[in-house]
Amino acid sequence: MAHYAHVTNGIVDNVIVIDLETLQTGLWGDPSEWIQTSYNTHGGIHSQGGTALRKNYAGIGFTYDSVHDAFIPPKVFASYVLDEETCLWVPPVPKPTDGDYVWNEEQLAWIRVGE
């Protein structure tokens, strides 16, 4: 069994667990609209040490980028930019490592939690 994402106009609208033979029967629609995804893949890394598949595990609302053969999550903040290596959105300013911070989109800055 594997995970497959249904993609309509480049957007994931369903994710199911199914074997390829059953999927290819057409009972779930056109098999060419289903793209395999890996539950263990995030940011181009397979958490179990296996081969990463399509950069990220697909979720409803994700975009499928056929050029990068990758699932890209929805953009969190307007200022975030796409890291093409991981296909994840990243802030325009690196997060400080000396405590707990949250991103403030209005200030385009990291704000220390509790301040």
Domain boundaries, the chain: 1-74, 75-115
| Residue in 27, 32, 35 with CA at minimum distance from that of residue 56 | 35
Share of the chain above pLDDT 90, in %: 98
**Structure confidence by residue, pLDDT tens digits, 7-57:** 999 999 999 999 999 999 999 999 999 999 999 999 999 999 999 999 999
Distance CA 2, CA 19 (A): 6
Distance CA 20, CA 62 (A): 22
**Are 23 and 17 contacting, i.e. CB atoms less than 8 angstroms apart?**
no
- The whole model's pTM is what? 0.90
Share of the chain above pLDDT 70, in %: 99
Only one residue has tokens 């893949």, namely 41
Distance CA 34, CA 12 (A): 9
Give residue 115's pLDDT.
66
